Amino acid sequence: MNNKPPKRIFLQWYGDSSPDDYVDSVSEGGVTWAEDKVFKHDVEYWETNSGRRFNLIMLIGFIVTALINTILFYLCILQK
């Protein structure tokens, strides 16, 4: 038995049924989730706080963005 929560789930806005089964609003079906995609309208959701790897990827992204912005800033100054 695996006691760890899944890293990825699929949110099902119409509960365990198809939206075709409901005439009115989404609230009639409720929201639930599944480990696998069941309906074409299921929304994939990933755990975002998966530790060091995620933090490292975010840090690298911020550094690359800062470098690109700095380069573009200086290129704009040099063109004037």
**Burial class (CB within 10 angstroms; exposed 0-12, middle 13-18, buried 19+) of 19:** middle
Q: In this predicted model, which residue has the larger pLDDT, 18 or 73?
A: 73
Whether the CB-CB separation of 33 and 8 falls below 8 Å is answered with no
CB atoms within 10 A of CB 12: 22
pTM, rounded to two decimals: 0.46
Residue 43 sits in the same domain as residue 32: yes
Q: Are residues 37 and 15 in the same domain?
A: yes
Residues 41 and 26 in one domain: yes
| Owning domain of residue 61 | 50-80
The per-residue pLDDT for range 24-60, each reduced to its tens digit, is 544 555 678 889 998 888 888 887 666 667 777 788 8
What pLDDT score does 74 carry? 84
| Residue carrying structure tokens 């800033």 | 73
**Are residues 54 and 36 part of one domain?**
no
* 63/43 same-domain check: no
Same domain assignment for residues 16 and 36: yes
Number of structural domains, the chain? 2
Above pLDDT 90, what percent of the chain?
2
